[in-house]
Amino acid sequence: MTTQQFDLMVVGGGPGGYVAAIRAAQLGFKTALVEKQHLGGVCLNWGCIPTKALLRGADIAHTLKDAEHFGFTFDNLSFDIKKLVQHSRSVASKLTQGVAYLMQKNGVTVIDGTASLADKCLLDVDHNGTITQYRATHIILATGARARNLPSIEIDGDSVWGAREAMTPTALPRKLLVIGAGAIGVEFASLYNDLGTDVTLVEAENRITPAEDSDISALAEKAFKQRGIKVLTNSIVQSLDNSGANTVALISGSEGQQHLEFDQVILAVGITGNIENMGLERLNVASQRGFLQADGFGKTNLAGLYAIGDVAGPPWLAHKASHEAVICVEKIAGVEGVKPLNKDQVPGCTYCRPQIASVGLTEAQAKAAGHSIRVGRFNLNANGKALAINEAEGLVKTVFDEHSGELLGAHMIGPEVTEQIQGFGIAQQLEATEHELAQSIFAHPTVSESMHEAVLDSLGIALHQ
Amino acid sequence: MTTEIKPINMPKWGMEMSEGDINAWYFAVGDQVNAGDDLVDIETSKIINTVTAPSSGILRAIIGAQGETHAVGALLGVIASAETSDADIQAFIARHTSAVPESEPEAAPEAVLTEAAPAPIAAPQVSSSSSKLAEGQDDSLVAASPVARRLAAEYAVNLNNITGTGRHGRVSKGDLEAAVIAAGGRLIGNTSNTKGSGAAQYGDDSHVKATPVARRLATQLGINLLECRVSGDRGRVCKADVDAVAALKKTLLAQTGSSAMAGTGNTAVESQPISGMRKTIAARLQSSKQTAPHFRVHIDAEIDALLEVREQINHSNSDAKVSVNDFIVKACASALIKVPALNVQFDGEQLSYFSNADISVAVAIDDGLITPIVTDANHKGLVDISNTIRDLATRAKLGRLKPDEFQGGSFCISNLGMYGIKQFDAIINPPQGAILAVGAGEQRPVVKDGTLAIATVVSLCLSSDHRIIDGAVAAQFMSVLKGYLEQPATMLG
């Protein structure tokens, strides 16, 4: 058997893997990328992008409902979910082709198949039963992650959907149970509620979006309840009974147990890394709780092996994977000035309605870390633009270190805040203090003026509240 | 008014460098350049590196054109202010091109810069401000905004000299610029005009009457207005005149190109000038073969025990992927310490003995080969050597080695085992005294105690410079090396 040789091989074609391959090829590595299914990974095919295409449909549904407020009325309004799903799939396939083009343009060899580590720096790639061996000085694993099951509840693709099934429905569920109120759970709850489904959202923690600042969670919960989403926090789905026509869920919470009936369930209780069947155990590659362990540049404990993106642990975000891809490859190549990933500077965005975006520490985390802090808040109901577009439900919250003026965290909920969070991200990267932000001129009328006001509030000089 | 004229010279990167090829200029004549801007790429012995502008001003002349080869210290270009007359520039070039500092091996560009400029000099604005503000201790701890810090580097200003007015005394961009102006400097990118002087040999064309379009076009095309006929109204050079010169130059270029082509009768032959790296390889190896009388000693080493140790190390240590070659580097390092007469450099006059084994490892790259160095290999463990070589080889292939990572070394190893080569001999990498050529480890029949047996054997061949290394010394080294390889535990101690 002949063994092909590459300088650098990447396993997995998602936003971590394909970016690593492009950067490596740019730097002059002879590069190959192994992908078993779809270039683009979960993000492009089954995650970020197709869900945003669906959520655009939810936005339109919301706008149409809200249209009466602006004087419009409709007759015979109808909706075909198949067309919305079709739009979502076509966007995904377009982007996948885009990635294939980028691979070709950069001279990256794309290998179809499932990879496993035969030894250090040695990959076996199984393509329909034929195994080809490849040798590479550097191997980057970017194999991603998949939805996690609960011991008592598993995704079956029928009555219990994972994200994949939830983004390709053939009909709209009537009564939907969403288990888990993290980013994925609240996005689906928001989507299906806007499309007209009766949604119940169950979360084991004491608030929805438990990773966000508690003020943001509180506002999100209030907004969800106003929209008619039933929110059950501190609650656990004990079991599902599928024996009848509908699924009966046994839910235990602070008010005791209750049986509730649904025609569809979505399980969104987190993810687990794709680390199995790759020969990693045999080579003693270090992992922890289902994810590979790597240093700030993605290097694992095995010579020549690196891990980036979801498989290397939280935060499980496409842009974190892409960033890790670049720093991992640049570190290998000896590019000067490469800095390890600072997880406090990775923004997170949730595309429910209203949108949630944040970067850095929450107020509670900042206090727990021993900072003495200066907090600013600004409510969107005092923002002219937000009122004008009738989306004045929201909040901007900033957390500064009182002594250094460092922006420790920023938390936003409201219309298009996912497009605004970068402003705080840049300020953080440039180590701007609250004073530089206060001195910056924000355009009027914009929703992002609230960012400015929140900073002013932290100095006790907010102008419009 | 005359101001200081700054030469751009062929730098000297390392002992071995005697000349460099001009690869590409980032600026054209007439362009404004700022201190620290990437100016010109030079291809030298094994690397392409960039010369940065020593000061701010206008690139007034390019003497070293793209594709040309110039000696170290040679004048490549001239930076001066817009006010400096072309006559002064010409005089400066004439003075500097006639006397190339041949006998100044360490003549860095900065050293040449301080050389006295033409007699009547008004204090240059930017550089005088910089020199006043440049002094001081390490300023990395001074509070400054990122923009201010970047600008400080461009102006060569030490932040210790700036009073910050930001919060907690942080230096802002405004503070920095105010200080530069206060010191009599000028702000980068704010130069009032950049007069296009075109090709330097025609002299100052600033007095030539020309339409604004013609003048701009001439600057962009590197054409001197004195080259142009005058056909515009009111005696001005117009756009058509500049275009005519540009077209003429293009035709001339095409002709010289095609006549060169006509010279080669055989159409199947593709001629191209050799790269700087190839030139260096050619020159060094030829000189080595001509000046150093090579002699070779061969020895075979059985490496079955070594392979077993290697397997144990790689199996027990996740972060180790030790190769046979890594063992050979380690064994050579130990042997060089034991036989120091081989751990030498010789420049034809002087013999330098090294106390540490800095071992060059030949790495094949796309358009040649390069020999990155495992420094202090005698003090490094096997895994350390292995990881160092992986990093060096990775960056060698990407062209990202720093000069000090491949220049020097006291001994060289070339391994062609991966190609299945049984044995070969190598040419010494001067100024080193010896090189080891390593073949493939393979199973061979051997006679042990009078019976035929099978062993994994690697053939080693040492080429030594007989001027400084005697046969017995080479033989002693090889026998020590064989001992280490056959009993690997002895070198790990």
DSSP per residue, B176-227: HHHHHHHTT---TT--S------SGGG---TTS-B-HHHHHHHHHHT--GGG
Q: What is the pLDDT of residue B112?
A: 32
> Can you tell me the mean pLDDT for B195-211?
63
Q: Is the pLDDT of residue B123 over 50?
A: no
Residues A229, A302 within the same domain = no
pLDDT in tens, A405-430: 899 999 999 999 999 999 999 999 88
- What's the predicted TM-score (pTM) here? 0.73
Domain of A323?
3-146+272-343
CB contact under 8 A, A303 and B394: no
CB contact under 8 A, A120 and B391: no
Which bin fits B67, alpha (ψ -120 to 50), beta or left (φ > 0)?
left
Q: Cα(B20)–Cα(B28) distance, rounded to whole angstroms? A: 20
Residues A38, A138 within the same domain = yes
Residue-averaged pLDDT of chain A: 95
Asked whether residue A259 is assigned to any structural domain, the reply reads yes
> Can you tell me the mean pLDDT for A63-89?
93
Residues B252, B284 within the same domain = no
User: Which chain A residues touch B318 with a CB distance below 8 Å?
Assistant: 283-286, 301-303
Asked whether residue A185 is assigned to any structural domain, the reply reads yes
Asked whether residue A153 is assigned to any structural domain, the reply reads no
Residues B242, B282 within the same domain = no
Output the domain CATH number for residue A418: 3.30.390.30
Mutate to test the interface with B, among A5, A9, A120 (most CBs of B within 10 A): A120
User: Which chain B residues touch A405 with a CB distance below 8 Å?
Assistant: 167
Residue B14 banded pLDDT, cuts 50, 70, 90: low
CB contact under 8 A, B391 and A334: yes
Count of helix runs (H) and strand runs (E) in chain B = 14, 19
CB contact under 8 A, A333 and B393: no
- Locate the DSSP E strands across A247-354: 247-253, 256-262, 264-267, 271-273, 287-288, 291-292, 305-307, 348-350
> Can you tell me the mean pLDDT for B378-397?
95
Asked whether residue B120 is assigned to any structural domain, the reply reads no
- Out of B96, B207, B379, B466, which one is annotated catalytic? B466
CB contact under 8 A, A27 and B320: no
Residues A66, A111 within the same domain = yes
Q: What is the pLDDT of residue B493?
A: 63
**What is the helix (H) or strand (E) element at residue B88, kind and residue range?**
helix B86-98
Residues B241, B284 within the same domain = no
Q: Is the distance from CB of A392 to CB of A418 less than 8 angstroms?
A: no
Residues A135, A283 within the same domain = yes
Q: Cα(B309)–Cα(B315) distance, rounded to whole angstroms? A: 10
Residues B238, B295 within the same domain = no
How many Cβ pairs closer than 8 A exist between chain A and B? Answer: 51
Residues B109, B214 within the same domain = no
Residue-averaged pLDDT of chain B: 82
Which residue in B145, B321, B394 is closest to A332 by CB distance? B394
Q: Is the pLDDT of residue B433 over 90?
A: yes
Q: Which of A39, A6, A18, A20 is nearest to A132 (CA)?
A: A6
Domain endpoint, select from A293, A321, A343: A343
Residue of B nearest to A136 (CA): B394
Asked whether residue A151 is assigned to any structural domain, the reply reads no
Residue of A nearest to B315 (CA): A283
CB contact under 8 A, B167 and A405: yes
Q: What is the pLDDT of residue A418?
A: 97
Residue of A nearest to B148 (CA): A430
Sheet of A256-262: strand order equals: A236-241, A247-253, A256-262
Residues 6+ apart with CB under 8 A from A332: A8, A138, A306, B394
Q: What is the pLDDT of residue B208?
A: 82
CB contact under 8 A, A27 and B398: yes
The helix/strand/coil state of A436 is helix
Per the DSSP assignment, residues forming a β-bridge with A6 are A136
Distance from CA of B354 to the nearest CA of A (A): 28
Distance from CA of B388 to the nearest CA of A (A): 12
Which residue in B321, B394, B397 is closest to A120 by CB distance? B321
CB contact under 8 A, B314 and A120: yes
Exposure class string for A337-355: b at 16+ Cβ within 10 A, else e: ebeebeeeebbbbbbbbbb
Q: Which of B38, B273, B308, B324 is nearest to B154 (CA)?
A: B38
Q: Cα(A115)–Cα(B305) distance, rounded to whole angstroms? A: 33
User: B interface toward A at CB cutoff 8 Å?
Assistant: 145-146, 167, 314, 318-321, 386-387, 390-391, 393-395, 397-400
On whether ipTM exceeds 0.90, the answer is: no
Q: What is the pLDDT of residue A230?
A: 97
> Can you tell me the mean pLDDT for A75-92?
94
Domain of B219?
208-259
Residue B196 banded pLDDT, cuts 50, 70, 90: very low
CB contact under 8 A, A137 and B390: yes
CB contact under 8 A, A302 and B319: yes
Phi, psi of B264, rounded to the nearest 5 degrees: -90, 110
Residues A7, A124 within the same domain = yes
β-pair type (A305-307, A130-141): parallel
Residue A289 banded pLDDT, cuts 50, 70, 90: very high
> Can you tell me the mean pLDDT for B250-255?
74
Residue of B nearest to A434 (CA): B167
Output the domain CATH number for residue A32: 3.50.50.60
Mutate to test the interface with A, among B47, B318, B389, B401 (most CBs of A within 10 A): B318
Which residue in A303, A334, A335 is closest to B320 by CB distance? A303
Residue of A nearest to B394 (CA): A333
The residue that leads in pLDDT, B92 or A289, is A289
Per the DSSP assignment, residues forming a β-bridge with A285 are none
Distance from CA of B33 to the nearest CA of A (A): 24
How far are the Cα atoms of A232, A253, A260, B272 from residue A257, in angstroms, in the given order? 12, 6, 10, 84
Residues B308, B216 within the same domain = no
Q: Cα(A82)–Cα(A311) distance, rounded to whole angstroms? A: 33
| Cis amide leading into A354 (omega within 30) | yes
DSSP string, B339-394: SGGGSEEE-SS-EEE-SS--EEE-EEETTEEE--EETTGGGS-HHHHHHHHHHHHH
CB contact under 8 A, B318 and A430: no
The residue that leads in pLDDT, B210 or A340, is A340
Asked whether residue B233 is assigned to any structural domain, the reply reads yes
> Can you tell me the mean pLDDT for B275-288?
86
CB contact under 8 A, A430 and B146: yes
Q: What is the pLDDT of residue B201?
A: 52
The residue that leads in pLDDT, A356 or B278, is A356
Q: What is the pLDDT of residue A234?
A: 96
pLDDT in tens, B133-155: 878 888 888 888 888 888 888 77
Residues B438, B372 within the same domain = yes
Q: Is the distance from CB of A59 to CB of A193 less than 8 angstroms?
A: no
Domain endpoint, select from B113, B140, B161: B113
Asked whether residue B453 is assigned to any structural domain, the reply reads yes
Which residue in A28, A284, A335 is closest to B399 by CB distance? A28
Per the DSSP assignment, residues forming a β-bridge with A10 are A33, A140
Report the domain count for chain B.
3
Residues 6+ apart with CB under 8 A from B463: B294, B295, B296, B425, B426, B427, B428, B434, B435, B437
Report the domain count for chain A.
3
Output the domain CATH number for residue B232: 4.10.320.10
> Can you tell me the mean pLDDT for B166-180?
83
Q: What is the pLDDT of residue B365?
A: 87
Asked whether residue A464 is assigned to any structural domain, the reply reads no
Q: Is the pLDDT of residue A236 over 60?
A: yes
Residues B463, B316 within the same domain = yes
pLDDT above 70 coverage of chain A, percent = 100
Q: What is the pLDDT of residue B114?
A: 32
Residues B353, B435 within the same domain = yes
In chain A, how long is the greatest CA-to-CA distance?
74
Output the domain CATH number for residue B41: 2.40.50.100
Asked whether residue B421 is assigned to any structural domain, the reply reads yes
Distance from CA of B153 to the nearest CA of A (A): 16
Residues 6+ apart with CB under 8 A from B155: B35, B126, B129, B130, B133, B176, B180, B185, B188
Q: How many CB atoms lie within 10 A of CB B292?
A: 24
Residues B287, B224 within the same domain = no
Distance from CA of B2 to the nearest CA of A (A): 40
Asked whether residue B79 is assigned to any structural domain, the reply reads yes
Asked whether residue B202 is assigned to any structural domain, the reply reads no
Residues A137, A7 within the same domain = yes
Q: Which of A184, A93, A177, A113 is nearest to A145 (CA)?
A: A184
Q: Is the pLDDT of residue B392 over 50?
A: yes
pLDDT in tens, B83-119: 888 888 888 888 877 644 444 433 333 333 333 333 3
pLDDT above 70 coverage of chain B, percent = 85
> Can you tell me the mean pLDDT for B154-175?
83
Residues A59, A142 within the same domain = yes
> Can you tell me the mean pLDDT for B400-421?
93
Residues B430, B330 within the same domain = yes
User: Which chain A residues touch B395 with a CB distance below 8 Å?
Assistant: 333-334
Q: Cα(A97)–Cα(A93) distance, rounded to whole angstroms? A: 6
Residue found under tokens 């027990």: B316
Which bin fits B348, alpha (ψ -120 to 50), beta or left (φ > 0)?
left
Distance from CA of B318 to the nearest CA of A (A): 5
Asked whether residue A50 is assigned to any structural domain, the reply reads yes
Q: What is the pLDDT of residue B129?
A: 44
β-pair type (A3-11, A31-35): parallel
Q: What is the pLDDT of residue B202?
A: 66
Which residue in B320, B387, B395 is closest to A333 by CB distance? B395
Residue B16 banded pLDDT, cuts 50, 70, 90: low
Residue of A nearest to B389 (CA): A137
Per the DSSP assignment, residues forming a β-bridge with B52 are B38
Q: How many CB atoms lie within 10 A of CB B87?
A: 11
Structure tokens that stand for A154 in this block: 């598993």
Structure tokens that stand for A419 in this block: 């497009």
Q: What positions of A carry a catalytic annotation?
A: 444
Residues A142, A9 within the same domain = yes
Residue of A nearest to B384 (CA): A303
Residues B415, B482 within the same domain = yes
Distance from CA of A29 to the nearest CA of B (A): 7
pLDDT in tens, A148-180: 999 999 999 999 999 999 999 999 999 999 999
Q: Is the distance from CB of B74 to CB of B398 less than 8 angstroms?
A: no
> Exposed (0-12), middle (13-18) or buried (19+): which is A202, by Cβ within 10 Å?
buried
